[in-house]
Amino acid sequence: MENKKDLSIREAISTNRKLFEALQRDVHEIISGEKEKAQRQRLCIPLAYSDFRELFLSFGTYCLYKRNQRKEFVIDKNNEAIIEQFYVIPPTTLLSPAI
């Protein structure tokens, strides 16, 4: 009886591991597809950082006004690093055509 129980536990562990590996592969395929889709949808406009920053400020102010907040968007020490990250474009994106 004990051997049969040990065998069924090992089978369950093996089955769980195979299920885990199959799910892991599926998730990686989904993520890969989403990354490719995002890459194709990215609009690449070659702008100097100063132009990008000015455009970002304009759109930020527009979004605030759309939410009935009558103030201008500002780039300060709390958000500047993140906005700079939006500006950074991987070199491979510059080479691929925008769709």
- The residue among 56, 62, 98 whose CA lies nearest residue 80 is 56
List for the chain the helix, strand, coil content (%; round to 5): 70, 0, 30
Return all residues near 52 (Cβ < 8 A) that are at least 6 apart.
87
**Contact (CB, 8 A) for 39 and 93:** yes
Report how far apart, in Å, the C-alpha atoms of 94 and of each of 47, 70, 78 are.
12, 36, 29
pTM summary value: 0.48
- pLDDT tens digits, residue range 15-70? 788 888 888 999 999 998 888 887 776 667 788 899 999 999 999 999 999 999 99
Domain boundaries, the chain: 1-41, 45-99
